[in-house]
């Protein structure tokens, strides 16, 4: 036969036979998970060795961070892969497409809890690895159940810890369904912060305690929280409180609360701010039209300067009639009304939002409210 035939055969062979040194096969690389973290830890620590991640499906973000360090190959039907060592865990779907000197199963899970029979009896597998003494002992039990005669070795997972970046924590507690509370400015600031973080690799988390949030808030750096009455704990634990409503604030509790706890604020040019005597190092002022939003986003990540703040002194001691109180909380009852149909265990019957309001004690009202069954009148 001519040389052209052999050359064609050689090319065809090389196209269907991929040659690697170490292959780690994982069927589906999810957006989050312990095995996904294991693959990344392997890539971080051992990327100087020839390591290939073979997969069937993969989350984009997970794959992008892996690809910066090691080769990632999506398995193709009919393609053959060669490696000196091939590693598997949980499933071995690709094992018949991999020709290797050694096929090694890595026990990352307690399979009895998953109701899954680990494929450790496959004839191609020659070794089994347990990632802890516990994993090793449990896979030994599976060996007995499946009558498998293969050695089980201990090999802990790698872990290298980078110096963590400071996550800047922002908080807002406001009614974003109210058009004067700065919903559009909130969206623009989120966009600017996300853009800055993408450019610099910095991190932030903005907790929005609010109602009526627009579905356009899709940032992975924003956590939308239900309104709550104990939000001050979160304000005190934050780096910045964001209060960017229209010029309708006449005292603004959130600003005064934040400054009182030593938490800096991002605000709009509120008229009332002039009389609060806010230290310059304690605030950033976002223009009404958000023209300086990129500058504000950058300054949010600057180190904190210490400050002190005292709110204006109130004068209600002179306004109230000083007569002793006769009120006791234990006598308090709450008037409630259903917001949807449910079976009320205390009443022993079905109720609906057509029912008339009735009184219950405070603890009962709190229980029903948390289940979103009633509203308080």
DSSP letter string, 280-349: GGGEEE--TT-TTHHHHHHHTTSPP------PPPP-HHHHS--------GGG-EEEEEESS-EEETTTTE
If you average pLDDT over residues 237-253, what whole number do you get? 95
Burial letters 321-342, b for 16+ CB under 10 A, else e: eeeeeeeeeeeeebebebeeeb
Question: Does residue 15 register a pLDDT over 60?
Answer: no
Structure tokens of 66? 């892996």
Burial letters 226-261, b for 16+ CB under 10 A, else e: eeeeebbebbeebbbbbbbbeeebeebebbbbbbee
- At residue 6, the pLDDT reads 46
- DSSP code of residue 354: T
Class of the domain covering 329-376: alpha beta
pLDDT tens string 294-310: 999 999 999 999 999 99
- DSSP code of residue 112: H
If you average pLDDT over residues 312-330, what whole number do you get? 89
If you average pLDDT over residues 170-175, what whole number do you get? 92
| 329-376 shares the fold of 167-299 | no
Cβ proximity of 247 and 179 under 8 Å: no
Rounded Cα–Cα distance for residues 132 and 156 (Å): 6
- Range from 9-18, 41-50, 108-117, 210-219 carrying the lowest mean pLDDT: 9-18
Rounded Cα–Cα distance for residues 270 and 245 (Å): 8
Q: How confident is the model at residue 50 (pLDDT cuts 50, 70, 90)?
A: very high
CATH architecture of 12-154: 3-Layer(aba) Sandwich (3.40)
Per CATH, domain 167-299 is 3.30.413.10:
no
- At residue 213, the pLDDT reads 67
Question: Does residue 14 register a pLDDT over 50?
Answer: no
Rounded Cα–Cα distance for residues 281 and 256 (Å): 15
Mean predicted lDDT score pLDDT of the chain:
91
Q: Quick check: pTM over 0.95?
A: no
**Beta strands of the chain (E only): which ranges?**
17-19, 22-29, 51-58, 71-74, 80-88, 98-107, 127-130, 152-154, 167-173, 203-209, 222-225, 240-243, 264-267, 283-285, 333-338, 342-344, 349-351, 358-361, 374-376
- Range from 5-19, 66-80, 243-257, 361-375 carrying the lowest mean pLDDT: 5-19
């Amino acid at each position: 036969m001519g040389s052209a035939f052999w050359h064609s055969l050689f090319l065809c062979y090389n196209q269907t036979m991929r040659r690697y040194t170490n292959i780690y096969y994982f069927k589906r690389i999810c957006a989050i998970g312990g095995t996904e973290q294991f693959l990344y830890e392997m890539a971080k620590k051992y990327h100087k060795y020839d390591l290939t991640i073979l997969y069937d499906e993969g989350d984009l973000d997970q794959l992008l961070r892996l690809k910066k360090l090691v080769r990632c190959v999506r398995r193709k039907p009919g393609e053959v892969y060669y490696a000196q060592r091939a590693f598997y865990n949980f499933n071995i779907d690709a094992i018949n497409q991999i020709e290797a000197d050694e096929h090694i199963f890595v026990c990352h899970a307690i399979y009895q809890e998953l109701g899954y029979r680990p494929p450790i009896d496959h004839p191609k597998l020659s070794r089994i690895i347990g990632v802890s003494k516990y994993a090793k002992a449990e896979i030994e039990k599976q060996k007995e159940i499946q009558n498998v005669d293969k050695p089980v070795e201990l090999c802990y997972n790698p872990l290298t810890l980078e110096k963590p970046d400071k996550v800047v924590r922002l908080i807002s507690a406001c009614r974003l369904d109210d058009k004067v509370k700065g919903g559009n400015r909130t969206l623009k600031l989120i966009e600017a912060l996300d853009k800055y973080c993408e450019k610099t690799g910095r991190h932030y988390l903005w907790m929005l305690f609010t109602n009526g949030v627009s579905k356009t808030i899709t940032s992975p750096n924003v956590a939308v929280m239900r309104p709550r009455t104990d939000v001050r704990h979160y304000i005190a634990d934050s780096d910045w409180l964001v209060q960017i409503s229209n010029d309708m604030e006449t005292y603004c509790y959130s600003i005064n609360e934040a400054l009182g706890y030593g938490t800096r604020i991002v605000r709009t040019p509120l008229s009332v701010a002039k009389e609060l005597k806010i230290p310059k190092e304690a605030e950033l002022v976002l223009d009404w039209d958000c023209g300086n939003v990129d500058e504000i986003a950058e300054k949010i990540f600057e180190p904190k300067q210490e400050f002190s703040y005292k709110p204006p002194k109130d004068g209600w001691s002179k306004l109230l009639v000083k007569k002793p109180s006769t009120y006791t909380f234990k006598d308090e009852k709450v008037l409630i009304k259903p917001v949807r149909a449910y079976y009320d265990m205390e009443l022993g019957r079905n109720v609906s939002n057509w029912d008339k309001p009735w009184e219950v004690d405070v603890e009962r009202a709190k229980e029903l409210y948390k289940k979103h069954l009633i509203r308080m009148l």
